Structure 1
Amino acid sequence: MNTIPTKGAFGGRTSLKARLYIRSHTHHDSHPVVLQIIRHRRRSVVFTPYRLRVEEFDASRGEAVARTRSHSRRTYISEVNDYIRHRLFELRRIVDSLERTGADFSASDIADRLRGRGVLRSVSGYFRSRIEELELEGRHGSALALEHTLRAFQKFSGGSPVRLEDVDLPLIVSFRDYLHRAGLSANTVGFYLSRFRSVYNRSVSEGYVQGDKRPFEGLPTRVEKTRKLALSDEVLRRVSGADLRGPRAEARDLFMFSFYCRGMSFVDMAYLQWSDVRDGVIHYRRRKTGQLFRVRLVPAAQTILDRYRTTGSTFVLPILRGPAVSGTGESSRELYTRYVRRRSRYAHLLSNLARSLNLEVPLSFNVARHTWASRARRKGISLSVISEGLGHTTEKTTRIYLEDMETKRIDDANRLVAAF
């Protein structure tokens, strides 16, 4: 039985037990296995690298139970129990050591000492715990990004457990080369490496890696610049004035609404609610950065809002509206799942619209954002105003948005100078 009650010199009973970390509103069919430490009625938990379904864990005995004849699953269950027994033994030794000092201590002290002894989480275990935290915070997009990164790393490692302590530059370089050989683009590789680095750095700051290890130092993880396409005024007029019906008209309206609202991102449009619109002004907090925005509606944007105004929904635009009354009784996870599906649908509709209009440039909500920035620059609006309008923290980011346009202006000037 993986439960160890003890009683120390200060009368503080210490309970060490393995259990499942279950949240009532989680949508996963498996849950992290944690080591629970209770002392002085205060609790601390240490995450393990393992996850189990509810029926695979005996809560009274604190151990995993095989519920299938699958050899691989039975091997996994056995591995979980071996891990639990070993870690509980380590915790028991830590409690004994702390009691011998004669000083009182807490459950957190025991957990901290466990980490200090070098009993560290594996890469998969720490990733899983971080994913769970993000899900609980409602940051489903960030959780999904880490999920994809972890899957890629597990394929690279062949499913073998890798300790955070063993992560070094050669391992990261091998992971990077593996991703390139798998045919992934440079931007996708950079995406995975940057996510891995952020999680690893967090584990270091929390004390799960000892020493001054910097496996990512000197290894570039920034993505390559992609060509930023902005629509010309003539093409923008063709898009806004096209005679459309049905879903394509809806996608076009959303594209134009983004443009009219200073390049509002698709995710911010999706979650925009009527309570955010007051006296002809949109007040919203950008989901990517947390910045508070105030956008006064121009007549064309107001027309689009009026077109999609409906009763029974708190959402301004049709992106997240469900078959029933939207915005009530739905979890953030359910809304996010719908958001992902609708984002893909509207991207497809815009791509189809660009082909039907015989446009030489693609259509996307990112293009709407770049179009606003480029058109503002052509109108002589200062870089600082454009940067503030887009919500960029520095003008450096805005310059990246406008780089293609600035290069074209220089090329045009060169043609004038060279034509002597």
Structure 2
Amino acid sequence: MGVKKKKTQTRTKPGGTSVRAMLNVRKDTTSDRYTLVIQILRARRRGVVFTPFRLRSEEFDPVKGRAVHNLNIREHRRFVDNVNRYLSHQLHEIDRIVSELERVGEPFDGRDVAGTFRRRYDNRYVHTVFRRQIEELLRQGRHGTAGTYRSTLVAFDRFAGKRHYQLCELDEPTVMEFRNFLVREGLSVNTVTFYLSKLRAVYNRAVREGFAPKGLDPFGGVPFRVEKTRKLAVDDTVLRRVAGAELPRGPLAVARDLFLFSFYCRGMSFVDMAYLRQGDIEGDVIRYRRRKTGQLFTVRIIPPLRAILDRYREICSPLALPILMVKDGRGGFCPFELSGTDPARKRLSEQEQYKRYLQNRSEFLHHLRRLSRLLGLERSLTFNMARHTWASRARRQGIPMAIISEGLGHTSEKTTRIYLDELEARRIDEANDVVTAFWDDPDRKLSAGGQE
């Protein structure tokens, strides 16, 4: 491989394994920058782990095996610190692999160590970094976010084909190629932006963790466009018909209760409703954390909200609502409770619970569609409609945008405005009807706060 031999400080573990960082200086290299690698020697065989960094000779101390500052520039110091943090992490992981292989008791060499590392910890590649972050999200119980990352990875793998992209290869032209590939697949503008934003999130975290070089922004010139979609808010007439419908006990009534519960709770998301526990209810207040952001919410319990909670208190304890329910074998239903004491079994149980959540969400959406047909509604209800409806009604009541945004849990008012653009457009359309209807009623006046 042509690795230049220099005096370097080696880390020798018991058993004769030597691990050291060095520059891969090749005779045919025309650049003055060399790839930083980690060399592993054991049983007279060498394995090499490549890093995403390329350094000049003067930027690396071969004795200490560390990158060094040679410019008194803040960005360069940050880059060097980034390299050394990355090295420290990778060396620690290699040491751990060596210890694991030694405990197995089977003979192994430097190539075996490097191969194991690449399969498990090689964070140079987009695919590997995605998989690692997905696994971490699953360990944290953030199954929804893990699912969005997984779908983005599937899309990127379609784009990459047999090529394994490294993080350092994610430059602006490559990201633009990915974007154009998604457009050619016929995906909507918002779906393309969704995938690009997830790829950017994964990349930015890799930069923060030292797995990708800082100072580059492969997404800087890539358009992240969002098209306006049909808004989901329903008007007061629909709300009254839904709330006042006489329904027999059964899945339609439960679906209606869940829709109204979300509305009464300032648009609580369906996933937060599913995992809401009776322990989150203290007197006249519900306190819970959003699973998406971790934000702590406090919602005062109004009378219709209390009625829904009381209706399901006995049948779904310790949960607050009958969403995460399974058949109990006696013809009834019981809450899906986690099982297992060790981390692996508990994580598997959490995954099964989330699968149950997805299945039951699909069932309740089906029942909402049935309810919509029964009531003769123009559009089928969804649980997101409850959230949008709360925001739109709050706006119509003159509640400030900042309060609406906080009530919804948005981190910026920009997101809230996406919910409310349709409301403002409708007011303008109503005003236009009045202004242009000169042939209909010459004495008609503006009803939107205007003048004659």
Q: Work out whether residues 285 and 299 of structure 2, in 8 Å CA contact, stay in contact via their aligned partners in 1.
A: yes
Q: Tell me the amino acid that sits aligned with residue 344 of structure 1.
A: S
Q: Tell me the amino acid that sits aligned with residue 226 of structure 1.
A: T
- Shift of the alpha carbon at 1:88? 6.1
2:279 is equivalent to residue 275 of structure 1: yes
Q: Which residue of 2 aligns with 1:25?
A: none
The 5 A counterparts of 1:239-254 are 239-245=242-248, 246-254=250-258
2:301 is equivalent to residue 309 of structure 1: no
- Shift of the alpha carbon at 1:377? 2.4
2:123 is equivalent to residue 144 of structure 1: no
Alpha-carbon distance in structure 2 between the residues aligned to 1:227 and 1:373: 15
Q: Tell me the amino acid that sits aligned with residue 355 of structure 2.
A: T
Per the alignment, do residues 219 and 296 of structure 1 end up closer, same or farther by CA in structure 2, a change over 3 Å counting? same
SS of residue paired to 1:294: strand
Q: Which residue of 2 aligns with 1:89?
A: 47
- Shift of the alpha carbon at 1:414? 2.8
Q: Which residue of 2 aligns with 1:79?
A: none
Q: Work out whether residues 266 and 408 of structure 2, in 8 Å CA contact, stay in contact via their aligned partners in 1.
A: yes
Q: Which residue of 1 aligns with 2:194?
A: 191
Q: Work out whether residues 175 and 218 of structure 2, in 8 Å CA contact, stay in contact via their aligned partners in 1.
A: yes
Alpha-carbon distance in structure 2 between the residues aligned to 1:229 and 1:110: 47
Alpha-carbon distance in structure 1 between the residues aligned to 2:16 and 2:199: 32
Which is higher, the Rg of structure 1 or of structure 2?
A: 2
Q: Tell me the amino acid that sits aligned with residue 89 of structure 1.
A: G
- Shift of the alpha carbon at 1:371? 1.1
SS of residue paired to 1:275: helix
Q: Work out whether residues 231 and 361 of structure 1, in 8 Å CA contact, stay in contact via their aligned partners in 2.
A: no
Per the alignment, do residues 98 and 109 of structure 1 end up closer, same or farther by CA in structure 2, a change over 3 Å counting? farther
Alpha-carbon distance in structure 2 between the residues aligned to 1:232 and 1:102: 67
Alpha-carbon distance in structure 1 between the residues aligned to 2:16 and 2:147: 32
The more displaced of 129-138 and 309-318 is 309-318
Q: Work out whether residues 85 and 210 of structure 2, in 8 Å CA contact, stay in contact via their aligned partners in 1.
A: no
The 5 A counterparts of 1:196-235 are 196-210=199-213, 212-235=215-238
SS of residue paired to 2:368: helix
Per the alignment, do residues 127 and 13 of structure 1 end up closer, same or farther by CA in structure 2, a change over 3 Å counting? same
Q: Work out whether residues 14 and 38 of structure 1, in 8 Å CA contact, stay in contact via their aligned partners in 2.
A: no
Q: Work out whether residues 159 and 181 of structure 2, in 8 Å CA contact, stay in contact via their aligned partners in 1.
A: yes
- Structure 1 gaps of 5+ residues are 1-7, 18-36, 40-84
- Shift of the alpha carbon at 1:395? 2.9
- Shift of the alpha carbon at 1:102? 9.7
Q: Which residue of 2 aligns with 1:323?
A: 327
2:367 is equivalent to residue 346 of structure 1: no
Alpha-carbon distance in structure 1 between the residues aligned to 2:205 and 2:219: 13
Alpha-carbon distance in structure 2 between the residues aligned to 1:106 and 1:215: 22
Q: Work out whether residues 276 and 284 of structure 1, in 8 Å CA contact, stay in contact via their aligned partners in 2.
A: yes
Q: Work out whether residues 182 and 192 of structure 2, in 8 Å CA contact, stay in contact via their aligned partners in 1.
A: yes
Alpha-carbon distance in structure 2 between the residues aligned to 1:364 and 1:248: 13
Q: Which residue of 1 aligns with 2:135?
A: 132
Q: Work out whether residues 15 and 38 of structure 1, in 8 Å CA contact, stay in contact via their aligned partners in 2.
A: no
2:69 is equivalent to residue 111 of structure 1: no
Q: Tell me the amino acid that sits aligned with residue 283 of structure 2.
A: D
Alpha-carbon distance in structure 2 between the residues aligned to 1:248 and 1:38: 64
Q: Work out whether residues 258 and 368 of structure 1, in 8 Å CA contact, stay in contact via their aligned partners in 2.
A: yes
Q: Which residue of 2 aligns with 1:52?
A: none
2:296 is equivalent to residue 285 of structure 1: no
The 5 A counterparts of 1:165-180 are 165-180=168-183
- Shift of the alpha carbon at 1:126? 1.5
Corresponding residue to 2:239 among 222, 236, 239: 236
- Shift of the alpha carbon at 1:101? 4.3
Q: Deviations over 1:10-48 (max 9, x none)?
A: 99626799xxxxxxxxxxxxxxxxxxx999xxxxxxxxx
Q: Tell me the amino acid that sits aligned with residue 146 of structure 2.
A: A
- Shift of the alpha carbon at 1:255? 0.3
The 5 A counterparts of 1:149-168 are 149-168=152-171
Q: Which residue of 2 aligns with 1:356?
A: 374
- Shift of the alpha carbon at 1:185? 1.9
Alpha-carbon distance in structure 2 between the residues aligned to 1:102 and 1:378: 64
Per the alignment, do residues 102 and 418 of structure 1 end up closer, same or farther by CA in structure 2, a change over 3 Å counting? closer
Q: Tell me the amino acid that sits aligned with residue 262 of structure 1.
A: R
Q: Deviations over 1:246-289 (max 9, x none)?
A: 21221111001111111111111111000001112111112222
Q: Tell me the amino acid that sits aligned with residue 13 of structure 1.
A: K
- Shift of the alpha carbon at 1:335? 1.7
Per the alignment, do residues 312 and 207 of structure 1 end up closer, same or farther by CA in structure 2, a change over 3 Å counting? closer
Q: Tell me the amino acid that sits aligned with residue 385 of structure 1.
A: I
Per the alignment, do residues 413 and 99 of structure 1 end up closer, same or farther by CA in structure 2, a change over 3 Å counting? closer
Per the alignment, do residues 275 and 411 of structure 1 end up closer, same or farther by CA in structure 2, a change over 3 Å counting? same
Alignment root-mean-square deviation, CA = 3.5
Per the alignment, do residues 395 and 215 of structure 1 end up closer, same or farther by CA in structure 2, a change over 3 Å counting? closer
Q: Work out whether residues 156 and 178 of structure 1, in 8 Å CA contact, stay in contact via their aligned partners in 2.
A: yes
Q: Percent identity?
A: 51
Alpha-carbon distance in structure 2 between the residues aligned to 1:399 and 1:332: 35
Q: Which residue of 2 aligns with 1:365?
A: 383
Q: Deviations over 1:103-134 (max 9, x none)?
A: 9x99963726999xxx8621111111111121
2:354 is equivalent to residue 336 of structure 1: yes
SS of residue paired to 2:327: coil
Alpha-carbon distance in structure 2 between the residues aligned to 1:89 and 1:159: 24
Q: Work out whether residues 313 and 321 of structure 1, in 8 Å CA contact, stay in contact via their aligned partners in 2.
A: no
Alpha-carbon distance in structure 1 between the residues aligned to 2:379 and 2:269: 19
- The number of aligned residues is 341
